[in-house]
Amino acid sequence: MDATRPTLPCPFDKIFPSQLKRDDDFFMWQAYNQAIDAWRQDEVPIGAVVELHGEIIASAHNQRDSTRDPTAHAEILVLGQAAKAIGDWRLNEATLYVTKEPCPMCSGATLMSRVKRVVYAVPDPKMGCLGGAADLNALPKVNHHLLITQGVLAQPCLELIQAFFRMKRLEE
């Protein structure tokens, strides 16, 4: 993040769904809230959470600009937090929720962490690698395959991402 440039105000509010129904929508709203945190820090608004046995064990958002780290994507950060939380790099029973289809790096890390399932909101036909531009999960010789669910809360997540980039273009 450039200290001389003001952060764009985020016109979106966080959503706090009922704790009583912990379904895909519930966990995706938590990832969405992480994406709003990213926007408020002038980062691309992508958020992620890892769920294990109905509980969130990790949450993160993009931090590439603020850390000046090209690997500081929401998925990479949240997978590292989740592994620390359970004391094992194998996240076999966990589900990753992310607001946009993971890129090649994040798709690879997701496969390597052996999460059971990935749920993403917005497909990415340019860089997504779990069915968008490519599908690493479909490689025949991979020793682990993910269960994939796409499109959960796609519209609000897409609107958030599009609004961010629309405002960025206006700023320039």
> Which residues are identified as catalytic?
75
Phi first, then psi: give them for residue 52, nearest 5 degrees.
Answer: -140, 120
Nearest to 35 by CA among 148, 133, 153, 150: 153
Q: State how far Cα 130 lies from the chain centre.
A: 13
When computed from its CA atoms, the radius of gyration of the chain, rounded to whole angstroms, is 15
* Local structure of 135: helix, strand or coil: strand
CB distance 75 to 102 below 8 Å: yes
Nearest to 32 by CA among 155, 166, 116, 115: 155
